[in-house]
Amino acid sequence: MTANSSQSVSPPVGRRRFLLVVDSDVEKLFHTATLLQRFQYNIWTAQSAAEALEMASVAVPALIVMAQFLDDLPGLELIQQLQRNKRLRTVPLVVLTQKTDPANEQDCLFAGALTCFSMPVQLEAFYRVVQVAVEPMPRMNLRINTKLSVTVGDQTVQCVEGECASVLSEYGLYVRTLDPYSLNAKLPVQINLAGKVIAADTVVIYSHQAGDDPEDEPGMGLQFTEISREDQKRIRLFIRDEITRDIDGEL
């Protein structure tokens, strides 16, 4: 399902978990859903409270992110309906508001919302809240799926035959390769990032061999042990730009 599709579609039963975004403003719905997709979540959307309740009755979402005001029902009343439903009362709720209103936010929290965010949302704070609400081992820092050429030790991984730096955060990366180094190996890396070369020292903190687990791609997780603040900032800004591409300033 694409981020902007919502009507007359129900989430498949038995597949991986999903987050539900509810907003009667189609543009804002698309922007929020796109942002969450770039946080690497499976997203379903609804444009009304009725549609959201129908969808959640088919498959329980891991998190509901909802606008404060909906065309068919105030967000506060939707929270109350969700809280009265035995299957849905434990689903975490995040409310998006158009402006900071302490009294209204307090009402939402009292009704059962996990937290409220005034729009535009602060990216890192929003990511952390979603992680804490959904993940058993939440991450506190943004990361992205990517495809970057990288030199690790004496190996140059040039994005051929599926090999590349496939995940990037400001604290490390995952290198997809059939020849991972051993655990705790200390390796220099060079990352080609938007035309600039980022140099850092790393240590292998985990690795997967081909065939270890069908759900794990072969490769190794590298944690930065030495990197300049300037290069770390470049990585952080690159990640932000990738996540907010075409939607920055709209949320």
List, as one string, the DSSP characters of 11-60: PPTTSS--EEEE-SSHHHHHHHHHHHHHTT--EEEESSHHHHHHHHHHS-
Phi and psi angles of residue 19, each rounded to the nearest 5 degrees, phi first: -105, 145
Q: What is the pLDDT along the chain (251 residues), one digit of tens a residue?
A: 334 333 333 333 333 589 999 999 999 999 999 999 999 999 999 999 999 999 999 999 999 999 988 999 888 899 999 999 999 999 999 999 877 667 777 888 888 899 998 888 889 999 999 999 999 999 989 999 999 999 999 888 878 777 889 999 999 999 999 889 999 999 999 999 988 999 999 999 999 887 666 567 889 999 999 999 999 999 999 999 999 988 754 44
The secondary element (H helix, E strand) that includes residue 195 is none
Residue type, 60: V
Query: Position 210: which residue type?
Result: A
Q: Give residues with Cβ within 8 angstroms of 117, minimum separation 6.
A: 94, 95, 96, 97, 125, 126, 129
Inter-residue contact 144 to 123 (CB < 8 Å) = no
Domains of the chain: 19-134 (3.40.50.2300), 143-244 (2.40.10.220)
The span from the CA of 19 to the CA of 165, in Å, is 27
Residue 152's nearest CA partner among 201, 225, 210 is 201
